[in-house]
Amino acid sequence: MPTPHTLKAVIPVAGLGTRFLPATKALPKEMLPVVDKPVIQYVVEEAVNSGLTDILMITGRNKNALENHFDRNFELEVKLEEKGDEMRLERVTRSTDLADIHYVRQGDPKGLGHAVLKARAHVGQQPFALLLGDDIIDAAEDLLTRMLTLNATTGSCVVALMEVPEDELSAYGVVRVEPTESPDVVRVTELVEKPAAGEAPSNLAIVGRYVLAPEIFDILEHQAPGRGGEIQLTDALQTLAAQSESPGVLGIVYRGSRHDTGDRLAYLKAVVEMALERGDLGPAFGAWLDDFVDARRGRG
Ligand code: G1P
């Protein structure tokens, strides 16, 4: 059984971030700050907290800021050292020391399945975790660790699922499931990428965390373009789920908090919620927010 820390994490970050223009014209969407940390750092920290310190980012054009963020910044470090500002120095070096980060470019943006296929040479013949670079999952929930354990004990691919309101299902990969003996674990029997209204097989959507078996690469290699003319990971997982000889696909139904920071409204909520949770800023921000809401109600 592979131990989690020998496994690799893959984070696709080649998307254009068009939902967030103009902020993302020159800045990768994964570099947008939530309070004082870019979104991508939360995602890398989540992988590291699950024991995955070898991380491959699938990047695209315009993503230099990402690489710089995880690299040293000597000028800043020297300045802060001279000042004896240990606290800020730690903030600067933390992202550098977090993990072993590798990069490969996606080239043509042919979809998530195509991005995942780019990880093949680095990952080899082992299961691996896939974390979508703009989803923030509550660190306290240990979702990825549970998914890695489920993969290690069953050999199945594992997807994270959340119940989603009917009118939002068409933005996701949506699954049909059967129950298993564990209440939060389901067997995935069918997957549909971004179903049209009324055609979703359930209200359970795939959110941006996966643990994938290496067999997925062979399937992706031959996967025909699907929704939007792109090579869809969801379609490859459907092929795997339908193979009677494979251990198939399991889902963990996640009920904690998740923020899709690529969406403007969800991003604003993420900033407010996560600022309130912070020990340093939360109390003062919360007091201001209460007054602000009271004043708004008074006006209304
Ligand atoms: C991707 C996947 C989709 C999944 C979603 C989760 O879509 O293709 O199956 O439900 O991520 O965020 P995207 O959001 O990249 O369009």
85 and 188 in a single domain? The answer is yes
Closest CA to 46 of 123, 160, 156, 125: 160
158 and 195 in a single domain? The answer is yes
207 lines ligand 1 (CB under 6 A): yes
Task: Note the pLDDT tens digit of each residue in 67-124.
Answer: 999 988 889 989 999 999 999 988 888 888 889 999 999 988 899 999 999 999 999 9
How many domains in the chain? 2
Ligand 1 atom, smallest distance to 227 CA: 8
What is the reported pLDDT for 34?
A: 97
Q: How far apart (Å, rounded) are the C-alpha atoms in residues 188 and 161?
A: 10
167 and 298 in a single domain? The answer is no
Determine which of 3-12, 113-122, 201-210, 218-227 has the lowest per-residue pLDDT on average: 3-12
281 and 192 in a single domain? The answer is no
Distance 255 CA to ligand 1 centre (A): 18
Q: Where are the alpha helices (DSSP H) in the chain?
A: 39-49, 64-69, 74-83, 86-97, 112-117, 120-123, 143-154, 215-221, 233-242, 264-276, 282-299
pLDDT at residue 2 tops 60: no
Residue 298 pLDDT grade (very low, low, confident, very high; cuts 50, 70, 90): confident
251 and 270 in a single domain? The answer is no
What is the reported pLDDT for 178?
A: 96
137 lines ligand 1 (CB under 6 A): no
278 and 197 in a single domain? The answer is no
Task: Note the pLDDT tens digit of each residue in 241-297.
Answer: 999 888 999 999 999 999 999 999 999 999 999 999 999 999 999 999 999 999 999
pLDDT at residue 187 tops 80: yes
pTM of the model: 0.94
Asked whether 285 and 275 are in contact (CB, 8 A), the reply is yes
130 and 271 in a single domain? The answer is no
Distance 132 CA to ligand 1 centre (A): 8
206 lines ligand 1 (CB under 6 A): yes
Mean pLDDT of the residues in the chain: 93
Distance 194 CA to ligand 1 centre (A): 8
Instruction: Report the DSSP beta bridge partners of residue 130.
Output: 10, 210
| Domain that includes residue 202, residue range | 4-262
Distance 285 CA to ligand 1 centre (A): 32
Structure tokens at 194: 């971004």
Which CATH number characterizes residue 59's domain?
Answer: 3.90.550.10
Distance 161 CA to ligand 1 centre (A): 12
115 lines ligand 1 (CB under 6 A): no
179 and 220 in a single domain? The answer is yes
